[in-house]
Every structure is written in C-alpha cells, then in structure tokens.
C-alpha cells in the first residue's frame, strides 16, 4: 500500500536514504571528468526533450535578470551556441546551459530504485530529458548564494509544463516541480528551497507491519477524541483523516481535510495529489466511511494531536522495510 507520510525523508547526496543517489552516475558529473567536486548549478528533469536556441534563451535571460533587450550586443556580453550546449556571458558572469535529449542519470531505473520516496522514484525512472544552468566564473568574486539566486531566477523562467523535478547537484537536494517551487526559485535561495522536500512524501509500507497495525488500532480506538474536538472546534483549527482511495488498479492512503462528519461519513477535501490513482486530484471534495479511516490528526494551538501512523512510517522509512 502507498502512504502519504508527513515530514519524513531527507534528501542528501550519496547517503543511500530515500532520495539519495550516487552523483558519479549522472551525466553532468561525467562531463566534469567524473571528479567529485561541487558545481554551482541547478537541473530540471523533463518529461520530453525541449527546444531551446540562442534567441529564445536570450529573451529568458533578459526577463530573469532584468537586463535590457540589447544586453548581448554590449562588449563582453553574449549568448551563443545551440543545444545541447549554450553559453551565456552577462555582466562579467559566465554560465553554461545544457539542454540534453537523454536521461540525467546514466541508469535512471537503477537510480530510481534507490529512492524510497515514490514520487521521486517515478520522476527519476520516467524523465526523458534534462536542462541545467551551471556557473562557470565571474569577474566580481561573488558568493555562491548570490550565484544560486541568479541561476534560480533563470531556471524559473525555463520551467514549463514538461518539468518534473528540480535538483541541486552539489547537495543532492531535489523537489517535485510545481508552481510553488517555481515561485520559490525566484524569491528564495535555491539551496535552501531544495534542502527539504515540499510535498508529503509517499512511501510503500505494508499493512502487515506490526507498527502500522498498532498505530491504526490506536487511531480507531481513540476516534471519539477527534469527533469531540471537531464538534467543539475553533476557526483556526485544522482537522484531517487518512483513508484509502482506489481506482480499481491502485490504492493509496491519503489525507483529507475534514469539513463535516455526519453519522458514519466523513466529508472533506483531498489533501494531496495522488501518485497512481487516476481520476482524482488534490482539493476535490471526497467522502470517507469512518470504518475506512486509519488515522487522524488535528491542531490544538501549537500542538498536533493524533497522527499515530506517522511515527510508524518514519520508522519503516528509516529501516528500509
């Protein structure tokens, strides 16, 4: 069964955890002679190859960095090349843009299997192309943070509907792409943005796992606590339950933001985007039978009550079961 966990999973380079991978197997690292050196770059994993030429890249550079329309015509500035390799020289800084019609990982399916977080596993296994912006030098001696912010703004302009994920080769930080990530690339330090996973990680955990069985039993036993709190809720409280949803082929346990409880039916809004289940999307109205609920949680001031399965999932994620 698939479970949408909350707050689990760290994504560090080469740690062998749910999102770690050996960067030596990536094409970008091989380009640098296979040396294990940090590069100041960001990468987009794409669902299909992207067309990109000098003219279209120049317009994106203008927009991202607020440069005048004739920036490439000034002394020392230029935008040259064609896919898979384009070069940018702007205001004393040099960058290389790679636009490659091939998977980013030498062995994407093998790399995907190392990732226990299933959204990332799917993206790594299925992406077909990649696009990166890498820093090559500056006349100004700027900090890495400044350069990452410039790259982040350009990568944000390069984002489109074919984007699956954004990653930082130097740290191994990775996030599934969405509009929130795109906005963050423009407004935040990309290294910080990609240092933690922005989505509720999805893990495969067996219902037969004794820790899960105990957690589910505890949640169901204490269900009256949730009902009592919901009936006396304040406007600033949030109430959620976790329950299974399926399409006949796949089943996923997902969180639902509760809006009403009537008899043995829980009404609410689906809290996250399904990974495999078809015909459903985050935010849509759903209903759950109380008997199908396997966890609950609600806020109480700064505290979170419930969430019995969360620790069980953390433990399963930690020991690889």
Task: Give 168-229 as a DSSP string.
Answer: ETTTTEEEE--HHHHHHHHHS-HHHHTSS--S--EEE--TT-HHHHHHHHHHHHTHHHHHHH
Give the Cα separation of 22 and 15 in Å (integer). 8
pLDDT above 70 as % of the chain: 81
Q: Write down the pLDDT at residue 17.
A: 29
Sign of the four-CA dihedral 220, 273, 7, 11: positive
Asked whether the predicted pLDDT for residue 34 surpasses 70, the reply is no
pLDDT in tens, 86-142: 999 998 899 999 999 999 988 888 877 776 677 787 888 889 999 999 998 888 788
Give the Cα separation of 208 and 317 in Å (integer). 15
Is residue 268 classed as helix, strand or coil in its secondary structure? strand
302 is written with which tokens? 């700064």
Q: Write down the pLDDT at residue 315.
A: 73
Give the Cα separation of 299 and 304 in Å (integer). 5
Sign of the four-CA dihedral 151, 154, 158, 159: positive
DSSP state of 26: B
Q: Write down the pLDDT at residue 86.
A: 92
Instruction: Count Cβ atoms below 10 Å from residue 263 Cβ, excluding itself.
Output: 7
Helix spans in the chain (H): 27-31, 54-65, 108-113, 118-126, 144-158, 179-187, 190-193, 210-221, 223-231, 308-319
Position 314 confidence tier, pLDDT thresholds 50, 70, 90: confident
Give the Cα separation of 78 and 67 in Å (integer). 12
- Beta-bridged to residue 130, according to DSSP, are 45, 100
Position 24 confidence tier, pLDDT thresholds 50, 70, 90: very low
Task: Give the residue, 74 or 156, on which the prediction is more confident.
Answer: 156
Asked whether the predicted pLDDT for residue 82 surpasses 90, the reply is no
Position 47 confidence tier, pLDDT thresholds 50, 70, 90: very high
């Amino acid at each position: 069964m698939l479970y949408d966990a909350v707050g689990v999973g760290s994504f560090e380079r080469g740690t062998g955890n749910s999102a770690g991978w050996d960067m030596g197997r990536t094409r970008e690292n091989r380009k640098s002679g296979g040396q294990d050196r940090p590069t100041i770059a960001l990468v987009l994993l794409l669902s299909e190859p992207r067309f990109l030429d000098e003219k279209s890249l120049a317009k994106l550079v203008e927009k991202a960095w607020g440069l005048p329309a004739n920036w490439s015509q000034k002394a020392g500035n230029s935008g040259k090349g064609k896919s898979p390799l384009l070069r940018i020289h702007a205001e004393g800084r040099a960058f290389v843009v790679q636009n490659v019609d091939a998977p980013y990982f030498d062995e994407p399916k093998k790399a995907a299997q190392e990732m226990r977080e299933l959204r990332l596993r799917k993206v790594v296994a299925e992406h077909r192309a990649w696009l990166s912006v890498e820093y090559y030098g500056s006349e100004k001696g700027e900090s890495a943070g400044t350069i990452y912010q410039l790259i982040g703004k350009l990568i944000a302009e390069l984002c489109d509907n074919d984007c699956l994920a954004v990653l930082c080769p130097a740290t191994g930080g990775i996030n599934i792409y969405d509009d929130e990530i795109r906005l963050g690339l423009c407004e935040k330090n990309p290294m910080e943005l990609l240092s933690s996973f922005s989505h509720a990680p999805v893990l495969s955990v067996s219902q037969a796992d004794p820790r899960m069985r105990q957690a589910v039993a505890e949640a169901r036993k204490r269900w009256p606590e949730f009902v009592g709190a919901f009936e006396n809720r304040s406007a600033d409280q949030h109430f959620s339950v976790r329950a299974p949803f399926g399409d006949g082929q796949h089943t996923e346990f997902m969180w639902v933001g509760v809006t009403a409880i009537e008899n043995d039916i829980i009404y609410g809004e689906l809290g996250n985007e399904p990974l495999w289940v078809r015909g459903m999307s985050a935010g849509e109205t759903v209903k759950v039978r109380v008997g199908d609920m396997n966890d609950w949680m609600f806020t109480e001031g700064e505290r979170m009550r419930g969430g019995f399965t969360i620790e069980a999932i953390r433990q399963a994620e930690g020991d690889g079961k």
